[in-house]
Amino acid sequence: EAQVTQNPRYLITVTGKKLTVTCSQNMNHEYMSWYRQDPGLGLRQIYYSMNVEVTDKGDVPEGYKVSRKEKRNFPLILESPSPNQTSLYFCASTRTSGTGEQFFGPGTRLTVL
């Protein structure tokens, strides 16, 4: 089954404790992206990757890091989480030569105390 998976689905942590949210897709997509969803703000892009070893900032990259060492994986790293990073996070992927529809993972709800 074609899918984007994220882990963990739910996470409660404390300020300053480094964490990683994993994202994996099995569709051989070149493009992967991270979004956060906040009430009244919709979906905002954090980082994206056009292919292996190619990453770039989205609209709200502050406080986040990413890496793309393999085509299927695109982890999101919070080196020192803060309460304003409490949010619902989605990973998505698509083919760069495709019709533009992105496939989304199920989401990770993060709470930073």
Partner 1 sequence: DQQVKQNSPSLSVQEGRISILNCDYTNSMFDYFLWYKKYPAEGPTFLISISSIKDKNEDGRFTVFLNKSAKHLSLHIVPSQPGDSAVYFCAASARYTGANSKLTFGKGITLSVRP
Chain residues binding partner 1 by CB under 8 A are 4, 31, 33, 35, 40-45, 48, 50, 58, 90, 92, 94, 96, 99-107
Least distance to partner 1 from the beta carbon of 107, Å? 5
Residue corresponding to tokens 């996470």: 11
> For residues 75 and 105, which CB has a smaller minimum distance to partner 1 in the complex?
105
Least distance to partner 1 from the beta carbon of 80, Å? 27
> For residues 3 and 15, which CB has a smaller minimum distance to partner 1 in the complex?
3
Least distance to partner 1 from the beta carbon of 31, Å? 4
Q: Kindly report the three-state secondary structure assignment for every residue of 21-58.
A: EEEEECCCCCEEEEEEEECCCEEEEEEEEEECCEEEEC
Contact 95, 31 (CB under 8 A): yes
Going by C-alpha positions, the residue among 12, 15, 32, 28 that lies closest to residue 90 is 32
Contact 92, 102 (CB under 8 A): yes
Pairing of strands 19-25, 54-57: unpaired
> For residues 69 and 100, which CB has a smaller minimum distance to partner 1 in the complex?
100
Least distance to partner 1 from the beta carbon of 57, Å? 11
> For residues 47 and 81, which CB has a smaller minimum distance to partner 1 in the complex?
47
